[in-house]
């Protein structure tokens, strides 16, 4: 019997999870993980900065979508976003490859970004 004890997400592009395998073995510890779900991924790492969801790192989907480090995210489609957790919850409502409009503040000015979402495999540790 297998149990999933915690989840980790790995973006497909450029990662160990990029292979078609649904199982991933961590080489140093020998622990096994398997895909428990596939989620949409906007290609940005977002953290709360000064109480606002702020882009900290860009991946290919984020660069292609026009994000810039320091963008403050305010909405995805018609879903308002006021912190990093709300950003993650909003993105999870969409499917990989779907196009969405993300609203950001860039240097205090509103900007709309047409973003094609990528895919992230969410792995759970199998015990």
Residues 22 and 33 in one domain: yes
Q: Which residue has the tokens 């409009």?
A: 101
Residue 31 backbone dihedrals phi, psi, to 5 degrees: -70, 150
113 and 85 co-located in one domain? yes
pLDDT tens readout for residues 2-23: 444 444 444 444 344 444 556 5
The answer to whether 41 and 24 have CB atoms below 8 angstroms apart is: no
- Residue where the block lists tokens 């915690």: 6
User: For the chain, how many structural domains are there in total?
Assistant: 2
Same domain, 56 and 8: no
- Please, which residues have CB within 8 angstroms of residue 60's CB and are 6 or more apart in sequence? 13, 43, 118
First to last CA, the chain: 8
Does this model's pTM top 0.75? no
- 76 lies in the same domain as 23: no
Q: How confident is the model at residue 34 (pLDDT cuts 50, 70, 90)?
A: confident
Residue 14: per-residue pLDDT? 39
Structural domain of 85: 41-117
Beta bridge partners, 11, equal 120
pLDDT tens per residue across span 37-76? 778 999 999 999 999 999 999 998 899 999 999 999 999 9
| Residue 55 and residue 32 share a domain | no
pLDDT tens digits, 84-126: 999 999 999 999 999 999 999 999 999 999 999 998 877 777 7
Shared domain check, 76 and 56: yes
Instruction: Looking at the structure, tell me whether residues 106 and 96 fall in a common domain.
Output: yes
Please check the confidence at residue 29 and state whether its pLDDT lies above 90. no
| 109 shares a domain with 95 | yes
Same domain, 18 and 62: no
Contact 55, 115 (CB under 8 A): no
């Amino acid at each position: 019997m297998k149990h999933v004890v915690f989840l980790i997400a790995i973006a497909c592009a450029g990662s160990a999870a990029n292979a078609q395998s649904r199982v991933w073995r961590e080489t140093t510890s020998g622990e096994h993980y398997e895909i428990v779900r596939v989620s949409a991924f906007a290609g940005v790492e977002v953290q709360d900065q000064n109480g606002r969801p702020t882009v900290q790192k860009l991946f290919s989907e984020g660069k292609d979508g026009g994000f810039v480090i320091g963008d403050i995210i305010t909405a995805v489609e018609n879903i308002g976003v006021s912190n990093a957790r709300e950003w993650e919850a909003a993105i999870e409502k969409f499917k990989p490859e779907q196009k969405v409009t993300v609203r950001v503040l860039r240097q205090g000015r509103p900007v709309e970004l047409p973003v094609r979402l990528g895919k992230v495999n969410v792995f759970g540790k199998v015990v």
